[in-house]
Every structure is written in C-alpha cells, then in structure tokens.
Amino acid sequence: MTQALSDIHEIPKPELADNYVVAALYKFVVLSDLAEWQEKIRAICSDTEMMGTLLIATEGLNGTISAAYDDMIQFVSWLRGHDEFTDIAIKYAIYQERPFHRMKVRLKKEIVTMGCEDIYPSQHAGTYVEPKDWNKLISDPDVMVVDTRNHYETAIGTFTGAVDPQTTNFRDFPQWAQKLADLPEGEKPKKLAMFCTGGIRCEKSTALMKQYGFDDVYHLKGGILKYFEDVPVEESLWEGECFVFDNRVSVDHSLTKGAYELCFACRMPLTEAEREDERYLPGLSCHYCFGEKTEAQKARYEERQKQVALAKERGEQHIGKARE
C-alpha cells in the first residue's frame, strides 16, 4: 500500500494499472432525510462498483471505500457535487488487491461513536490548526495537549508532553472530559490542543470540550498523519510511532511501515521483542491477553489464523476485522 495522499491526482500513474484506490473520508455536517441519503449513496456506489463501508448520521458522513481509479473519480465528483460535501476531507492510497469485498452504507446515531448524540462538531467544534503551526501551539505553557486516541494507540507514540486520558475506546472520553471540566477554576487548563490519527475524533472532542465550558479549544487539522506529511522530521515533536488502522499497524514520521505487528486476539500492537515472548502465539495470544480468552474464542482465532496462512500461500491478503 502507498502512503496516504490528500489529492487523488498525486497518485503516480504507473501505480494505477490493475490496482485499487482506497479513500478514507469524513465530514461533520448536519444532515436530514438520512434514508434518502442512504438510497442515493447506495446507488452511486453500485454504479461505481464501490466496496467498503460508509456511515451516515445526522452529524455527517464517515467511512473507507475502494474502487478502480476511474470509478473513484466518478464517486468523488458526485459526492463533491453536493453542497454538503464540497470540501470533504479525503485521504487516498493504493492497494494491489481489493481490500474490501462488499459495500455497506449504514445509518448510525453517530459517525464516530462517543455516546453523546447532542454534539454537533459542524456547528460547535474548536479551531483548526494547520500542521505547520502545531509545534508553536503545543509549546505554549498555557496549553494542555490532549491525545484523544485509545490506550493501544498512545502506547506506541504521542506528541511530547501530551496528556493521555487512558481510554479503552472513544466512549470513555466524555467521562475523562467531565472530570477535567469539574476541576476548580484555578486548576483548569487555559487552552486545549486536541489531536488524533486523522482528525475526526479530535474534531468531535473539541465540540464536547466547548460544551463543557472550555473556550480556547484547538485541534490538529488532518490529524497526526497530515502532520507527518507536512512537518519535516527534523522539526518533529512526535515521539515513537503512530498506530494506523490498516495492515501496516504503525508508521514512523516518514509514513513508512513501523516496527509493530498486531496481536489478532486482543488487537494490541507488539514490538519484535514482545513477539519473542513465549506467550505470543501468532493469531492466538500475546502477553497482554494470554489466558484471558475462552475456548470458543481460541477455536475461532485458530481457524482465522489457518485462513490467514492459506491466503498467504495463495498470495492473497486475508481480510480481517479492523478495530474502530
């Protein structure tokens, strides 16, 4: 897979033949008539032989899809032809094989699940900060830098001095945020700078923090991956690697595959040293989850690992369930 690109026209032409374009996209925008949107999007996805998943909610659109280059151009042109999505954020990459095998267009309460249905980032989000301006912001002693990602992501890398809320999933974040809001006035941070992998979680987090009474709230536009694209390595304030939700598992600042592999039982990223632990059994367990799974789960993981091995023998990529 190539690194993510912000413009589909940046994809080198030789890479297009017999390959698939993958697009990760989202936009917070207030939508009505969700069933109608679902029907229209299903129709264009059918016309363009699109595969993947798109989530629609009153707060907007989110998902990852794949298709041949010309079909992706047609889909994106159609989507951006609607006033609601003219400026939708899209990241592109190239896969040699089709990464998805069916198309799902689903109606949801939220496009990124926080458990707070009355939050509308399109109306109340914080202030975007361009990657080139991020270092200056987070170096301000009055700024609390908040990593809105989950513990399996923060464990392998984050920005210098960032606060880790220690969440297991995004639903845990409001509880941490409420505790911060309940601090006495003299103990609350004057400014908040939020970040996540691609921008969607931190954007929604800023809307929550504003609802909780914080006025000076900022978020990294395009997330960590855009920061890696735009900020030279020698100027980086990032420490470690960044967890990504694809077969690379992690990337370094140059956006090349990192040193981590995934435990397919508990989905934790593992270093080479951790994979040498006697409790690590490929596809079955690691030192994080050893002894915690039921016999039924173990049997399911064993069968999945067998399918992974068979797919590898055939020179194919096994499609597993990615964590949200």
Strands (E), the chain: 20-28, 51-57, 60-67, 89-95, 103-107, 127-129, 143-147, 157-159, 191-195, 217-220, 238-240, 242-243, 250-251, 261-262, 269-270
What distance in Å separates the CA atoms of residue 310 and residue 298, rounded to the nearest whole number?
18
**Selected catalytic residue, list 45, 116, 196, 202:** 196
Give the DSSP letter string of 144-181: EEEE-S-HHHHTTEEETT-B----SSGGGHHHHHHHHH
Closest among 248, 284, 241 to 266, alpha carbons compared: 284
Structure tokens at 270: 């593992």
Q: In the structure encoding, which two tokens stand for residue 35, read together? A: 């069933």
Measured CA distances, 283 to 9, 276, 288, 306 (Å) = 38, 14, 13, 9
Query: What is the spatial distance between Cα 310 and Cα 1, in angstroms, rounded to a whole number?
Result: 21
Phi and psi of 94, rounded to 5°?
-115, 135
As a dihedral over the C-alpha atoms of residue 164, residue 166, residue 169, residue 170, rounded to 10 degrees, the angle is -40
67: β partners: 21
Point out which residues pair with 95 in neighbouring strands.
20
Catalytic-residue membership of 196:
yes
Question: Token pair of 42, please?
Answer: 């299903």
Q: Which residues are catalytic?
A: 196
